[in-house]
Amino acid sequence: MEILVILFIVLIVVAVSFVIYEKIIEKKILSSSKKISELIKLNQLVYFHQLNPAFETHKHYDNKGSFNKIEPAYIMAAEIREKLDFFATYIKQINENRTKLIEYRNEVEEIWLRECIVDYSGLKILQGMYKKYENKLFQKNIISPIVDCTFRVNMTYSSPKGKVNLSKNNVFNFDDLFSCFESVSRSFLDRKTYSNLAMVERGEVSDSLRYDILKRDNFTCVICGASSKQGARLHIDHIVPVSKGGKSIPSNLRTLCERCNIGKSDKIETYTTTQPSETQQTLRCNYCGAELVLRHGSRGNFYGCSNYPRCKYTRNINQ
């Protein structure tokens, strides 16, 4: 047992001594190597953009149809289109880093290949060991800028009761990102790219959001007043169509019956959501005190009680 303890102590002493010896050698080489000195000077003159090397986004769906149709590449395209200016700058800086890196590496190679006189005996370091550590320290001081990136897309789906859970993902590199950027930044998108982007945007209307919009509009078409109780098939309509830049957010969504939705097509209407903005005062029903919401009838716009049909109070907009 005592022999093992002694052996363990000896090994520790040897390891510590070796580390100290390496530090001494490295210090001598750093102070004497002209190659490393010139590399450090070059590093002070060259400039590379400091960039994020990885992007990641996650989309969760409660609608299996949307999950199955939408591919990770479509999600990346939608993200790029949403932040077009940012990615334009990012791609430009990556390309600038790539161009500068070629020049930088050529200069680094020239520095390394230069013949330099070293007084090995004066430094008390063997020539082979000197060159070995010099190469190690030289490589350590070479700048490695960001010239590539990854864009990871994670997609998940859960059924309403949580019995079915699916996922799919993909990782794209800079060349994929650049190709995608070129596609979505064109003034006129090709049909396939537009279709993919529109699919992603419509996929944002989850089953939960759809229900919230229907409930907000009292399960009634906001144009003609038809309800599901009357046999109307209700749709969730984008007030500003997806084809014209409309987003899948509550303020841009409303309930329309199938007939009104088909008639509206991709027209843009001047429309105020049934939800008052935060800067507006909430209007209340004079009978039951419930919130008044904006409705559209055959004779124009009016305010109606949100408890309709239990409460049928209405108010003129100018009242």
Strands 54-61 and 292-297: unpaired
Q: Are 152 and 234 members of one domain?
A: no
Which of helix, strand or coil describes residue 234?
Answer: strand
Continuous H helices in 83-141? 84-113, 120-123, 127-140
Q: How far apart are CA 39 and CA 111, in angstroms?
A: 7
Structural domain containing residue 105: 30-200
Q: What is the predicted pLDDT for the residue at 309?
A: 65
Mean confidence (pLDDT) of the chain? 83
Which residues partner with 167 through β-bridges?
A: 156
Q: What is the predicted pLDDT for the residue at 121?
A: 81
Q: What is the predicted pLDDT for the residue at 24?
A: 75
Q: Are 72 and 128 members of one domain?
A: yes
Whether residue 24 is contained in a domain is answered as: no
Which tokens is 287 given?
């009978």
Q: At what angle do helices 34-45 and 2-32 cross, to 10 degrees?
A: 70
Percent of the residues in the chain that have a pLDDT greater than 70, as a whole number: 80
Q: What is the predicted pLDDT for the residue at 169?
A: 95
Q: Are 176 and 75 members of one domain?
A: yes
Contact 67, 164 (CB under 8 A): no
Q: What is the predicted pLDDT for the residue at 21?
A: 62
Name the domain count of the chain: 2
Owner of token pair 């370091």: 125
> Is the pLDDT confidence value at 279 over 60?
no
> Is the pLDDT confidence value at 262 over 50?
yes
Geometric angle at alpha carbon 153, from 151 and 154, rounded to 5°: 150
Q: Can you tell me the mean pLDDT for 150-179?
A: 94
For residue 245, name the pLDDT band (cuts at 50, 70, 90). Answer: low
Q: Are 105 and 223 members of one domain?
A: no
For residue 116, name the pLDDT band (cuts at 50, 70, 90). Answer: confident
Q: How far apart are CA 282 and CA 276, in angstroms?
A: 7
Q: What is the predicted pLDDT for the residue at 193?
A: 74
Q: Are 159 and 307 members of one domain?
A: no
Continuous H helices in 185-286? 191-203, 207-216, 258-264
Strands 150-158 and 54-61: parallel
Q: Are 42 and 129 members of one domain?
A: yes
Q: Are 195 and 211 members of one domain?
A: no
Q: Are 278 and 178 members of one domain?
A: no
Rounded to 10 degrees, the C-alpha dihedral 268/269/270/276 comes to: -100
Q: How far apart are CA 250 and CA 209, in angstroms?
A: 8
Q: List Cα–Cα distances, 144 to 104, 134, 140, 184, 203, in angstroms.
A: 10, 18, 10, 30, 40
Q: Are 148 and 271 members of one domain?
A: no
> Is the pLDDT confidence value at 181 over 80?
yes
Look at 82 and 22; give whichever has higher pLDDT: 82
Q: What is the predicted pLDDT for the residue at 276?
A: 39
Owner of token pair 């082979």: 128
> Is the pLDDT confidence value at 226 over 90?
no
For residue 267, name the pLDDT band (cuts at 50, 70, 90). Answer: low
For residue 71, name the pLDDT band (cuts at 50, 70, 90). Answer: very high
Q: What is the predicted pLDDT for the residue at 41?
A: 94
> Is the pLDDT confidence value at 106 over 80?
yes
